[in-house]
């Protein structure tokens, strides 16, 4: 479901300016526990290894079976950050008493999140945020483990809202936390059960769209509980954009077109994090990459990284591949498409399906030929073919996969945001939208370092004093650029 793709977003900047940040790290009781207990931390490292060694122990068997069927990614090691968090915190049950209603994709990785929330003391009721993405065997395994799950692959729109309703509307059980992805659950509660908000301690939202809706509510003065925007945490952003796209641009293009990258001329529209990731990968594999940009600072970065910055018209006749990563609309127009050479590949890594003007291609003189799933040849009267991928929707979501490790970053961030909002003392958070505190962002990162066998250095007391920093972080000012 979620919001219609074509709905315009206001400038990202505008939204973020409103984001409140909490700066005094010492206020977080949970974080304080975590970071002040080096002895337990060593303990945790042992635990994690044990987990890695025996991933099929009693009690998790049925779920891990369903997961291993649906993914061959190295599940157990790549979700280990969340498992660490679980082991670390399950003694103090920071979510004891929490009644969480959730609406997310229902996949193996989500299951590990839900399991973790339960292990930390929460009760959960869950529905799907998308009518197609539910892995039925995961839903079944969750249900078998006692979680109330209302979701299946291929729901109708009515089904979709019915499922959400069943999560919220239950006698004798009232949610006090919301975990949302896209804002549909939040929207439903606002519309049907506004009284529920009297008990809600907070909303955690992870999508661009959902966050946008929250900012709109906030602007309109209608946001009646604190909300945490986990979408814009540094760690999640870097993985969702720079690191993930660096790999998925190659994967998506290969799976759909088998194109050889070496020597290909490629134009990438937009040199933000997504564009930077795409360009780095393509350049490394021998493509010649051109950039288009509206922002002179990003354009200067492209220059320094070795890319020519051009207007799209300057290169459109010569390039083999066009990739959009702007967040903008109509970046590739029919006029551009008319001028592309035969066999040019066109795809979108940016925002929804607005970047390429696909609608302009649905005219009688052009023939569409579906040559493979997600691959259309659009054929001009003179025989020229343009290869359009995923009909202009996001290539990485449509034609490649997201590594479990990236999902682990998101899930860990969500869990920490829930813990923080649930445990925050009265008054720390107002009825507003907040960014994840930097210290928690750093904690998410630190939970993922063991996967790489990375060893952090600790500040000495003397050094911490010299730098004016707490030894446990946060280590950077809020707007440090990374």
Q: How many CB atoms lie within 10 A of CB 178?
A: 26
* Region 390-429 residues binding its own copies, contact defined as CB under 8 A: 400-406
Residue in the block written with tokens 């061959």: 72
414 close to 230: Cβ distance less than 8 angstroms? yes
| Two tokens, residue 135 | 């892995």
CB-CB contact of 133 with 108 (8 Å): no
Q: Is 107 labelled a binding residue? A: yes
Q: Annotated binding residue at 335?
A: no
Query: HSE of 91 in the Cβ direction (CA atoms, 13 Å)?
Result: 9
Between 30 and 261, CB nearer to its own copies: 261
Dist. CA 384–CA 391, nearest whole Å: 18
Q: Is residue 58 classed as helix, strand or coil in its secondary structure?
A: coil
Within residues 259-288, the interface with its own copies by CB under 8 A covers 259-263, 265, 273, 280-281, 283-288
Q: In terms of CB distance, is 363 or 457 closer to its own copies?
A: 457
Is 28 an interacting residue with respect to its own copies (CB under 8 A)?
A: no
For position 345 contacting its own copies by CB under 8 A, the verdict is yes
Tokens 């590949």 sit on residue: 345
CA-atom Rg of the chain in angstroms: 23
Is the distance from CB of 388 to CB of 376 less than 8 angstroms? Answer: yes
What are residue 379's DSSP bridge partners?
367, 385
Shortest separation between residue 373's beta carbon and its own copies, angstroms = 10
Residue 32 binding its own copies, by CB under 8 A: no
Task: Tell me which of 140, 298, 366, 397 binds its own copies, using CB under 8 A.
Answer: 298
CA 174 to CA 205: how far, in whole Å? 19
Give least dist CB 398 to its own copies, A: 14
Q: Which of 98, 117, 302, 421 binds its own copies (CB under 8 A)?
A: 302
Considering only residues 45 to 84 of the shown chain, the ones binding its own copies according to CB under 8 A are 52-57, 68-69, 71-78
**Is the Cβ of residue 6 or residue 224 nearer to its own copies in the bound state?**
6
- Asked if 320 is part of the footprint of its own copies (rule: CB under 8 A), the reply reads yes
Q: Does residue 158 belong to the site contacting its own copies (CB under 8 A)?
A: no
When asked if residue 39 is in the footprint of its own copies (CB under 8 A), the reply is no
* Edge-first strand listing for the sheet containing 99-104: 148-150, 123-128, 99-104, 177-180, 202-205, 227-229, 433-435
From the list 36, 199, 372, 430, which residue makes contact with its own copies (rule: CB under 8 A)?
Answer: 372
Q: Is 221 annotated as a binding residue?
A: no
Q: Whose Cβ is closer to its own copies: residue 40's or residue 192's?
A: 40
Q: Of these, 37, 359, 368, 463, which contacts its own copies (CB under 8 A)?
A: 463
List residues forming the annotated binding site for substrate.
Answer: 107, 181, 206, 236, 240
């Amino acid at each position: 479901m979620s919001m219609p793709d074509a709905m315009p977003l206001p400038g990202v900047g505008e939204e973020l300016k409103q984001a409140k940040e909490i700066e005094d790290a010492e206020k977080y009781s949970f974080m304080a526990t975590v970071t002040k207990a080096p002895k337990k931390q060593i303990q945790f490292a042992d635990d994690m290894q044990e987990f890695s060694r025996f991933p099929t122990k009693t009690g998790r068997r049925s779920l891990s079976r369903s997961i291993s069927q649906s993914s061959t990614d190295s599940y157990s090691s790549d979700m280990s950050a969340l498992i660490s968090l679980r082991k670390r915190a399950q003694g103090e049950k920071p979510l004891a008493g929490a009644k969480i209603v959730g609406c997310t994709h229902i996949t193996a990785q989500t299951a590990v999140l839900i399991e973790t929330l339960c292990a930390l003391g929460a009760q959960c009721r869950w529905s799907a945020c998308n009518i197609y993405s539910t892995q039925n065997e995961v839903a079944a395994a969750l249900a078998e483990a006692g979680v109330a799950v209302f979701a299946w692959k291929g729901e109708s729109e009515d089904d979709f809202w019915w499922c959400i309703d069943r999560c919220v509307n239950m006698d004798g059980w009232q949610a006090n936390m919301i975990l949302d992805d896209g804002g549909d659950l939040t929207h439903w509660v606002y519309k049907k059960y506004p009284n529920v908000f009297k008990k809600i301690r907070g909303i955690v939202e992870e999508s661009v769209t959902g966050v946008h809706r929250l900012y709109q509510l906030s602007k309109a003065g209608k946001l009646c509980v604190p909300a945490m925007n986990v979408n814009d945490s540094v760690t999640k952003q870097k993985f969702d954009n720079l690191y993930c796209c660096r790999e998925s641009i190659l994967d998506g293009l290969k799976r759909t077109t088998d194109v050889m990258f070496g020597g290909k001329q490629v134009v990438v529209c937009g040199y933000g994090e997504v564009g930077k990731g795409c360009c780095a990968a393509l350049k490394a594999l021998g493509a010649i990459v051109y950039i288009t940009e509206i922002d002179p600072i990003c354009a200067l970065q492209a220059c320094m990284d070795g890319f020519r910055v051009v207007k799209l018209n300057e290169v459109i006749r010569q390039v083999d591949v066009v990739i959009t990563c702007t967040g903008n609309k109509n970046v590739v127009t029919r006029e551009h498409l008319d001028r592309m050479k035969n066999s040019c590949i066109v795809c979108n890594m940016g925002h929804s399906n607005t970047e390429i003007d696909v609608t302009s291609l649905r005219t009688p003189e052009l023939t569409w030929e579906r040559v493979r799933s997600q691959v259309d040849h659009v054929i001009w009267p003179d025989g020229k073919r343009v290869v359009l991928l995923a009909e202009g929707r996001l290539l990485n979501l449509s034609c490649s996969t997201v590594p479990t490790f990236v999902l682990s970053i998101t899930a860990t961030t969500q869990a920490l945001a829930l813990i923080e909002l649930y445990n925050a003392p009265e008054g720390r958070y107002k009825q507003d939208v907040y960014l994840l505190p930097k210290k928690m962002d750093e904690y998410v990162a630190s939970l993922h370092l063991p996967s790489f066998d990375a060893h952090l250095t600790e500040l000495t007391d003397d050094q911490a004093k010299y730098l004016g920093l707490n030894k446990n972080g946060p280590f950077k000012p809020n707007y440090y650029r990374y």
